[in-house]
Amino acid sequence: MQNRGVMQTNEKRSHSVIMIKAGGLVIFLVAALMIARFTPLQEQLTAEKLGRLVAGAGPWAPVAYIGFYTAGVCLFLPGTLLTAIGAAIFGPFCGFLYVWLGAMLGASLAFLIGRYLGRDFATSLIGDRLRKYDEAIAANGFATVLYLRLVYFPFTPMNFGMGLTGVRFRDYFSATALGIIVGTFIFTFFIGTIKAVWASGDWNGLWSWQVLFSLALFVFSFFIPKIVDRFKSSRTA
C-alpha cells in the first residue's frame, strides 16, 4: 500500500511538472507573438536601422547580426525579412553565411524549447492511433524534415512543432542544415547583388551576368517545391 501511495505521489508530481512546462511553452509562444506584433521591435526591422545597430558592434557585427537572427526566429519575426536585411548589410556571400548560421541557431533553439517544454505534454495526448504516426516520423526524421524544408514549410512554426515530435535532434539539425542551404543562398545572392548595384549607382549593372543569374535563381526557387513534390511522387509510384 505504501509503495502504491509513493507511486501515485510521483505520478502526480510528474503530471504537475508536465503541465507546468507545457504552460511555460504556451506563455513563451504568446509572449513571442506579442513582442513581434505589438512592440516597436517591428519598426527596427529595416536594413538602415539594423545596419546602424550592427555597425555599432564593430568587428563583432557578424556575431551581433547572427544573435539578432537567432532571437528573431524564436520571436516569430519574418525570416524572409531578416534574410533580406542580412544580404543587404553583408552582401551576397558573407550575407549567406551569416544568415545560414543565424537560421540554424534559431531553428535549433526553437526546437530545443519545444522539446524540453512541450514534448512530454504532446506524448501524453497521443493515443494509440496517433502514436504510430509519431513513431514513423521519428524513424524517418531526416527525410521528413528535409522534405518540409525543401517545400518551404513555414520556418518558425516547424521549428517548435518538430520539437514536439519524436524526431531526434541530430536528424532535425542535419536535415535543416541541408534543406535551407539552397533557398538561403538563392535569396541572399539575389538581394545582395541587387543591393550592390544600387549602392554603386551604376544602373547598367542591372544587365550584368551576376544580376541576371541571381534573378534566374530567384525565379527558379519558386519551382523548387513543385520539383520536390514531383520527385517524391515518382519515387512512391
Residue 210 pLDDT level (bands cut at 50, 70, 90): low
Give 199 or 11, the one with higher predicted confidence.
Answer: 199
pLDDT, tens digit, 9 for 90 and up, residues 151-171 = 888 899 999 999 999 999 999
Range with the lowest mean pLDDT among 1-5, 33-37, 113-117, 175-179? 1-5
- Position 223 pLDDT exceeds 60: yes
Cell representation of residue 170: 541530430
- Position 55 pLDDT exceeds 50: yes
Confidence at residue 205, expressed as pLDDT on a 0 to 100 scale: 59
pLDDT, tens digit, 9 for 90 and up, residues 80-137 = 888 988 888 888 889 999 999 999 999 999 999 999 999 988 888 776 666 877 888 8
Confidence at residue 161, expressed as pLDDT on a 0 to 100 scale: 93
Residue 52 pLDDT level (bands cut at 50, 70, 90): confident
- Position 237 pLDDT exceeds 70: no
Give 208 or 37, the one with higher predicted confidence.
Answer: 37
- Position 6 pLDDT exceeds 50: no
Residue 153 belongs to what H/E stretch?
none
Residues in the chain: 237
